[in-house]
Amino acid sequence: MKVFKFGGASVSSVERIQKVAEIIKDYGKKDLIIIISAMGKTTNALEKVAEAFYAGKTSEALSLFDVVKQNHLTTAKYLLVTSYNATLNLLTDFFTEVEWLLHDKPVRTFDYYYDQVVCVGELLSTCIVSAFLNEKGIENEWGDVRDIIRTDNNFREANIHWQQTSENLANSDISKRSNICITQGFIGSTDQNESTTLGREGSDYTAAIFANLYAAESLTIWKDVEGVMNADPKEYPEATLLSDLSFNEVIEMAFYGAQVIHPKTIKPLQNLKIPLHVKSFINPALKGTTISNKPGHHLPPIIINKSKQVLVHLQSQDFSFVGEQPISELYKQFCYLNIKPNLIQTGAVSLQVCLDNRPDKIEQIAVSASEIFDVQIEKELSLLTIRHYTEELLQKMVADRDIVLMQKTKETVQVLYR
């Protein structure tokens, strides 16, 4: 068994979906589980639908969703011939599921509605791609991953119930009626059959879950880049390919925010020593990157930039030391709100925490922290992280930057700047 994962860029157009078919066909009759993301920028579009709905703008939400509908119907019309009507029926079921919700009034948290709306992106893309592959003679079975992956109800960042998921997979028809199974990334469901998502870019994690449960030979993630680079080539044209990486290095990269592999992806693979290949769907002949248990050596500096950062300044209200108790209370709030600090710096009477700019979460953490600290918030910052840095490179990259914080270890430097 091999597991493939195709991201949104690889199914963002008719031509690219046709390219996906060519790649799969080249692998012949081998057993494949194929995880597919939502098409192109669909997830972003569906997020706007959820936001409009939650703000009480029903007409706007329905209008925004209609754009998503028409895009998928147009793609289906261009790709499908004999199976168009059957696929249209399935697409219509998914459209209706969302539209029914959009006509209602929000009475639960935004994160709950986010998951119910956004999850449809993967369902739409996979049923179109599955139908197209079948028309091209690539026989496959389509499956709803929500019948397999069971999670808790931590909406937008759901945690996997591994035992139940394993049992669901063993009892399912997935991969039993065909050598190739097409299913969705990023989504799952609770015991109450409420849709959940696993966090942005969670399709990688889904693929790793299937690879682990099948003890797969390998997992291949197909992207629109040559492989894993030492920097984002859109920001740094001189970025170079990292042909071999260790699991440990990739975990560090993901932790610091590299948009390469979902942070939770590595553990299910590392536990069973399943190699991960990152390859280009544009040019499949390229070697790409292999991630495995083998230790990496002589890596170049790895550059990670994160924009839209917020620095929360916390100072004790009576100038007492910031000790274990207030920090413990703060971390309880991080856990409760599912917040991961990107950088923390402590002083005698103050604490500074750098976070991704999630306005709802920032507001909640500021309100709860104000019971213990005086709170100030600074927005529109950027966080630069360099793994395996050199002083020469660091000085070059921070020149003319208005530095707010800097932290160094032997391997890694982080710089927060305005």
Give the residue from 186, 136, 141 showing the smallest Cα distance to 17. Answer: 136
Q: Is 51 a domain residue? A: yes
Single residue among 233, 267, 292 that ends a domain in this structure: 292
The structure's pTM equals 0.86
Residue pLDDT, tens place only, 18-42: 999 999 998 877 799 999 999 999 9
Q: Is 260 a domain residue? A: yes
Q: Is 149 a domain residue? A: yes
Per-residue confidence in pLDDT tens, the chain, 418 aa = 999 999 999 999 999 999 999 999 988 777 999 999 999 999 999 999 999 999 999 999 999 999 999 999 999 999 999 999 999 999 999 999 999 999 999 999 999 999 999 999 999 999 999 999 999 999 999 999 999 999 999 999 999 999 999 999 998 877 666 789 999 999 999 999 999 999 877 899 999 999 999 999 999 999 988 999 999 888 898 999 999 999 999 989 988 988 777 778 999 999 999 999 999 999 999 999 999 988 877 899 999 999 999 999 998 887 777 777 778 888 888 888 878 899 999 888 888 999 999 888 898 888 888 888 889 999 999 999 999 999 999 999 999 899 999 999 999 999 999 9
Helix (H, G, I), strand (E, B) or coil at 230: coil
Residue pLDDT, tens place only, 241-290: 999 999 999 989 988 988 777 778 999 999 999 999 999 999 999 999 99
Instruction: Clarify whether residues 133 and 221 are in a common domain.
Output: yes
Single residue among 263, 292, 321 that ends a domain in this structure: 292
Q: Is 406 a domain residue? A: yes
Q: Is 288 a domain residue? A: yes
152: tokens are 């808790």
Instruction: Clarify whether residues 271 and 252 are in a common domain.
Output: yes
Q: What is the pLDDT of residue 173?
A: 76
CATH of the domain at 186: 3.40.1160.10
Instruction: Clarify whether residues 277 and 309 are in a common domain.
Output: no
How many folded domains does the chain comprise?
2
Give the residue from 374, 327, 368, 369 showing the smallest Cα distance to 346. Answer: 327
Give the residue from 219, 153, 138 showing the smallest Cα distance to 185. Answer: 219
Instruction: Clarify whether residues 258 and 321 are in a common domain.
Output: no
User: Which class for 275: exposed (0-12), middle (13-18), buried (19 or more C-beta within 10 A)?
Assistant: middle
Instruction: Clarify whether residues 244 and 361 are in a common domain.
Output: no
User: DSSP states of 234-301 as a string?
Assistant: TT-TT--B--EEEHHHHHHHHHTT-TTS-TTSHHHHHHHT--EEEEESSSTTS--EEEESSPP-SPPP
Instruction: Clarify whether residues 194 and 329 are in a common domain.
Output: no
Q: Is 280 a domain residue? A: yes
DSSP code of residue 147: G
Single residue among 292, 310, 327 that ends a domain in this structure: 292
Q: What is the pLDDT of residue 371?
A: 84
By residue range, what is the domain housing residue 367?
302-417
Instruction: Clarify whether residues 126 and 262 are in a common domain.
Output: yes
Instruction: Clarify whether residues 237 and 257 are in a common domain.
Output: yes
Instruction: Clarify whether residues 101 and 66 are in a common domain.
Output: yes
Instruction: Clarify whether residues 55 and 13 are in a common domain.
Output: yes
CATH of the domain at 323: 3.30.2130.10
Instruction: Clarify whether residues 355 and 281 are in a common domain.
Output: no
Instruction: Clarify whether residues 89 and 196 are in a common domain.
Output: yes
Q: Is 297 a domain residue? A: no
Q: What is the C-alpha separation between 206 and 193, in angstroms, rounded?
A: 18
Q: What is the pLDDT of residue 175?
A: 61
Q: What is the C-alpha separation between 41 and 200, in angstroms, rounded?
A: 12
Q: Is 242 a domain residue? A: yes
